[in-house]
C-alpha cells in the first residue's frame, strides 16, 4: 500500500478489497462509505487528495465525495488524535446536561469541538444521537460508550487516555 500525501494510492490488496466491496452492490456507489473507511484507515484521514483518488475509483466527481465526507462526523478531514471523544448533543443528552459536559471537555482539553489537542492525544467531537439515550448524557470514546456523564466521571475517563 502507498500512503503518499500528494498522491494517495491503494496497494494491490486494498484495490482488490475496493473491487470486492463494489461488487456487493447493484450500483458500485453503494460501496462508497466502506471504501472511505478503508481510505481513512489507510491514509490516516480523508484529505482533498484522498477524496479525489476515491472519486476516481467510483467515477464520481471529487465534489460528490466531499459532500459525503463532510456529511458524516466519523470521517476526518485532518489528522485525528490517538483517541476520539464524541459527545452526543441530541435531545435527551442536551436535556440532561450535554452542553455542560462539552464545555467541561473544551476547558480540560484546551481545544474547541472539532479540534485535536496539540499533543495529538484527543480529538473532541460533538455528534448526533448515539442511540443510548437512556444513559444520557452520553459520549463515545474510541469504540466504547460512556454514559450518565458528570464532570467528575469525564475527568476519570480523560485520565485513562494516553
Ligand atoms: S440523545 Fe444522546 S444518545 Fe440519544
152 and 93, same structural domain?
yes
122 and 89, same structural domain?
yes
| 78 occurs within a structural domain | no
pLDDT score of 73: 81
Burial 64-92 (b: 16+ CB within 10 A, else e): ebbebbeeeeebbbeebbebbbbbbbbeb
Q: Is 91 in the pocket of ligand 1 (CB under 6 A)?
A: yes
101 CA to centre of ligand 1 in angstroms: 13
130 CA to centre of ligand 1 in angstroms: 5
162 CA to centre of ligand 1 in angstroms: 26
- Beta strands at 122-127 and 83-88: parallel, antiparallel or unpaired: parallel
Whole-number average pLDDT of the chain: 94
pLDDT tens digit sequence for 57-69:
999 999 999 999 9
20 and 61, same structural domain?
yes
Give percent of the chain with pLDDT exceeding 90.
93
| 129 occurs within a structural domain | yes
| 126 occurs within a structural domain | yes
| 3 occurs within a structural domain | no
- In order of 102, 105, 145, 146, the CA distances from 12 in angstroms are 42, 42, 35, 39
pLDDT tens digit sequence for 83-141:
999 999 999 999 999 999 999 999 999 999 999 999 999 999 999 999 999 999 999 99
Q: Is 92 in the pocket of ligand 1 (CB under 6 A)?
A: yes
Q: Is 109 in the pocket of ligand 1 (CB under 6 A)?
A: no
What number is the average pLDDT over the span 1-6? 48
| Domain membership of residue 50 as a residue range | 12-71
Give the position, in ligand 1's atom list, of the atom nearest the Cα of 89: 2
Assign residue 96 the CATH number of its domain: 3.40.30.10
| 5 occurs within a structural domain | no
91 and 58, same structural domain?
no
Domain count, the chain: 2
Amino acid at each position: 500500500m502507498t500512503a503518499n500525501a500528494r498522491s494517495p494510492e491503494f496497494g494491490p490488496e486494498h484495490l482488490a478489497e475496493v473491487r470486492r466491496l463494489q461488487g456487493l452492490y447493484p450500483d458500485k456507489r453503494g460501496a462508497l462509505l466502506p471504501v472511505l473507511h478503508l481510505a481513512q484507515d489507510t491514509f490516516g484521514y480523508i484529505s482533498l487528495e484522498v477524496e479525489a483518488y476515491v472519486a476516481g475509483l467510483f467515477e464520481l466527481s471529487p465534489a460528490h465525495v466531499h459532500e459525503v465526507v463532510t456529511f458524516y462526523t466519523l470521517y476526518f478531514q485532518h489528522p485525528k488524535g490517538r483517541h476520539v471523544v464524541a459527545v452526543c448533543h441530541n435531545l435527551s443528552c442536551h436535556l440532561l446536561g450535554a452542553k455542560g459536559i462539552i464545555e467541561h471537555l473544551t476547558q480540560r482539553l484546551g481545544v474547541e469541538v472539532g479540534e485535536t489537542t496539540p499533543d495529538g492525544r484527543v480529538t473532541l467531537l460533538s455528534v448526533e444521537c448515539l442511540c443510548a439515550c437512556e444513559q444520557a448524557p452520553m459520549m463515545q470514546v474510541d469504540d466504547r460508550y460512556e454514559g450518565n456523564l458528570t464532570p467528575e466521571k469525564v475527568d476519570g475517563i480523560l485520565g485513562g487516555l494516553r
